[in-house]
Structure 1
Amino acid sequence: MLTNRRSFIARAGVATGLSALPLHGLTASAAAPIVEPDFGPKIGQALLSRNENPYGPAPSALRAIAETSKMGCYYNDRGHAKLTAMIAERNGVSPGQVVIGEGSTEVLCAAALAWGRKGAILAPELFWDTTVQYAERQGVTAVRVPLLADMNIDLPGMAAALDDSVAMVHLCNPNNPTGILIPPNALKAFIAEVSPKATVLVDEAYNELTDRPDDNSTIDLVKAGADVIVCRTFSKIYGMAGLRVGYAIASEENAARIRSHQMSFGGNLGGLAAAIASYNDTPFLDQSRAAVLEARAMIIDAVANSGLSALPSQTNFVFVKVPDANALRDAMAQSGIAIRGAYGNLNGYSRVSTGKLEDVARYAAALPKLSRQLWG
């Protein structure tokens, strides 16, 4: 595997157009005109800033989209019900406990707004908080607890901050942008302590990429009757970020409450068809996960070769400790490589996502050189 990564990096400067893992089996015509795409990366860009999986959607999903697109004139009730039933069956819950949304974003926003109208939302200071920000714009109060010095979520600090004003505790596990996983025993002990006082919402967008997905999930607590909501998405391991399908698993009461605050109606046909077709597509999921892990290892190697360090990641991105995240982002951009800059005032960490292996190889080749140029 290490030899593989080194060979990718060695070829990075001259092989930026290669497809390292052509899951779709599609090739561009040599005579086709070069046109800037309306979606995805710009021509020549290594897009490593958005936690996408460029090896999806699965071939099974693409076939389903093609076959069902002619039905786009119809509403999607039966497809919506079918995916709901599939999710319920796999997770051992009733269909009434499953909420499907336009990406997990819609489900998270609906939950934040529904519970936020009852009380405050308690959350870490740094996590994927777009949905909480949405609720704040609607007048909801958010209480944020700083991370620990090692960038772990401060569970004791959050428990201490919980009072009667809090209606919901919101976590992302593994956390975004740090990539750190809360150990299952610690998380379940925390939930046992706080869930009698407030609903706990756990965003598990990256669960399938962790070392032990089933052990790291809190769906078993939902099934045991705890006041917990678990959110999942088809955007990551399934490679369907642009098709917008996500879901929550909760008690029937909590699920109904989330639905009452949703804005979409029935989901989009393409996304539902793709989700139904690929939900149990184990060969694709295994291949997709392997590509993510290989790319993540390449990033970690590059970080070490650059004299830098990174937080432990259980996701499809790595949080790299750097002197100046914005300076590195700008320098990478000059080479056509897109990564994230600083999160707020936190300019000492740079988030880079796994992408196509040849794009990650470009980053891995550029990082040591740019680190020397920027910081000596």
Structure 2
Amino acid sequence: MHSNRRSFLVGAGLSAGIAPLAGGALSPLAAAAPTAASDFGPVGGEALLSRNENPYGPAPSALRAVAESARMGCYYADRGLGRLADMIAERHRVSPRQVVLGSGSTEILCAIALAWGAKGKVLCPDLFWDTTVRYGERQGVEAVRVSLGSDMGVDLAAMTARLDDSIALVQVCNPNNPTGMLIPSAEMRAFADTVTPTATLLVDEAYNELTDAPGDNTLIDLARSGRDVIVCRTFSKIYGMAGMRVGYAVTTEENADLIRGYLMSFGGNVAGVAAAIASYNDTGFLADSRAKVLEGRAMILDAVSKAGLTALPSQTNFVYVKVPDADTVRTAMEQRGVRIRGAYGPWKQWSRVSTGRLEDVERYAQALPEIIGQMSG
């Protein structure tokens, strides 16, 4: 019996591609595999400033929670999700039923695109983080795009002019990505008054915690009061958990129920949820994280000035810089081991650079005047 059981286990291991060696040693392939950490983050020596990540997270409190919860990864995350929803609801003074949790805010935004796209069209700016709207378009959702204003800001007046009975959802990102610009609170509230009688207003507030006045620059209070507003937030930015995929929305109970019906995943990531619970109210980490972002942003703006360039006013962890040619600047930076974004569609003269490790931002700051000088010469 013992012999048969051992043969079964060895056979099962082989069929799964796991070949144990005598004495329980790892196979040569497994032994030669890199450590887990080497599969993530920037390649050695690279300054990664292209993805709006916060390399100073996750918080130490989050990392402790991940270590403690890892052995519970065999279980679904239901109770942890419930606790996190309760915490979010308590902070924003809403019912837990008004909170939707997802695999990053991306999953929630995609679900909203599908759910409201089944009702009508999605009205949005022509330059914002539209990955989730494009996901909806691939599933048959129709989007109506409105040009930015002459200042590169979201043109709320032009969007208002496009409102009609065919529009089911109006989506904006505030502050906007990739421009970094914030729509003032009074303008957003007036816009909500115009939109919500006939359509749902969706505001992606991924960078809210990095604005000068986060409490003033949110519409969560409108959702709390029962208005037809959805606000999405994420743990990817100030919390430094982009790879751990935790996001949430706050809205009415009716909207929340509809969104949940379109979510693509079941349950949650135990490690990510544990990290979110541990760091959600970690004010010390959040203050330090914010300070580093603001320091990095100031370094970028100083380099922009020294290079004789201009940039849009940013309330985020990235800056949108006007350059002679964004793709040329990106290539020149890559040659120096600094990774930034190239052109977004037809906006060829606008280059987005994220804050990151301050030593990496310094590499960008030193390279930019030199690169621009070579392009101008």
Contact 1:79 1:272 in 2 (8 A): yes
Partner of residue 213, structure 2: 212
Conserved in 2, the CA contact under 8 Å of 1:36 and 1:42?
A: no
Identical amino acids, percent of aligned pairs:
68
Unpaired segments ≥5 residues, structure 2: 1-33
Shift, 1:375, TM fit: 1.9
Go from structure 1 to structure 2 and tell me whether the alpha carbon gap of 1:34 and 1:240 turns closer, same or farther (over 3 Å shift). closer
Flag the 1:73–1:144 CA change in 2: closer, same or farther, 3 A: same
3-state SS of 1:202 partner: strand
Are the structure 2 counterparts of residues 271 and 155 from structure 1 closer, same or farther at C-alpha, using a change threshold of 3 Å? Answer: same
> Which structure has the larger Rg?
2
What residue number does 1:176 align with? 177
CA distance in structure 2 between the aligned counterparts of 1:121 and 1:34, rounded to whole angstroms: 44
SS at the partner of 1:100?
strand
Question: 1:192-207 maps to which residues of 2 (within 5 A)?
Answer: 192-207=193-208
Instruction: State the match for 2:262 in structure 1.
Output: 261
Aligned equivalents of 1:113, 1:342: Cα separation in 2: 28
Distance 1:326 1:252 in 2: 45
Q: What's 2:86 paired with?
A: 85
1:241 alignment counterpart: 242
Letter in 2 for 1:59: P
The answer to whether 1:230 aligns with 2:231 is: yes
> Would the alpha carbon gap of residues 248 and 36 (structure 1) be closer, same or farther in structure 2, given more than 3 Å must change?
closer
Offset, 1:37: 2.2
Bigger RCO (CA 8 Å, 6+ sep): 1
CA distance in 2, matches of 1:374, 1:66: 49
Deviations 1:270-317 (A, max 9, x none): 100000000000000000000000000000000000000000000000
Would the aligned equivalents of 1:36 and 1:43 in 2 still touch at CA under 8 Å? no
SS, match of residue 201 in structure 1? strand
Q: Give the superposition deviation at 1:223.
A: 1.2
Per-residue Cα deviation, 1:153-184 (whole angstroms, up to 9, x for no partner):
11010000011111000000000000000000
Measured in 1, the distance between the counterparts of 2:218 and 2:301 equals 25
Alignment of 1:1-376 (within 5 A): 37-376=38-377
Secondary structure of the corresponding residue to residue 85 of structure 1: helix
**Aligned amino acid, residue 220 of structure 2:** I
Aligned position for 2:17: none
Distance, in Å, in 1 between the alignment partners of 2:58 and 2:338 is: 23
For residues 28-59 of structure 1, the C-alpha deviation after alignment (integer angstroms, 9 at most, x for no partner) is xxxxx999921000000000000000000000
Question: Which residue type is aligned with residue 135 of structure 1?
Answer: G
Cα distance in structure 2, aligned partners of 1:106 and 1:298: 33
CA RMSD, 1 decimal? 1.2
Q: What is the rounded CA distance, in whole Å, between the counterparts of 1:298 and 1:147 in structure 2?
A: 27
Q: Deviations over 1:163-211 (max 9, x none)?
A: 1111000000000000000000001001101111100000000000000
Following the alignment from structure 2 to structure 1, what is the Cα–Cα distance between the partners of residues 218 and 195?
17
What is the deviation of 1:354?
Answer: 0.2
Residue identity opposite 1:41 in structure 2: P
Query: How many Å separate the matches in 2 of 1:242 and 1:343?
Result: 23
Match of 1:123, SS? strand
Cα drift, residue 367 of structure 1: 0.3
What one-letter code is carried by the residue in structure 2 that aligns with 1:305? K
In structure 1, C-alpha distance between the alignment counterparts of 2:155 and 2:376, rounded to whole Å = 32
Deviation digits for residues 342-368 of structure 1, max 9, x if unmatched?
001110100000000000000000000
Query: What corresponds to 1:14 in structure 2?
Result: none
Partners of 1:107 and 1:36 lie apart in 2 by 28
Structure 2 CA distance for aligned equivalents of residues 303 and 319 of structure 1: 10
Q: Distance between the aligned counterparts of 1:34 and 1:63, measured in 2?
A: 20
* Alignment partners' CA distance in 1, 2:162 and 2:198: 12
Task: Classify the secondary structure of the residue corresponding to 1:37.
Answer: helix
Query: Structure 1 CA distance, aligned partners of 2:150 and 2:46?
Result: 35
**Aligned CA distance change for structure 1 residues 87 and 227 (closer, same or farther; 3 Å):** same
SS of structure 1 residue aligned to 2:321: strand
State how far apart, in whole Å, the 1-side matches of 2:75 and 2:157 are.
50
Name the CA distance, whole Å, in 2 between partners of 1:52 and 1:197: 36
SS of equivalent to 2:39: coil
Which AA in structure 2 matches 1:371? I
- Per the alignment, in what secondary structure is the counterpart of residue 214 of structure 1? coil
Q: CA deviation at 1:225?
A: 1.6
Q: How many residues end up aligned between the 2 structures?
A: 344
Q: Deviations over 1:314-341 (max 9, x none)?
A: 0000000011000000000000000000
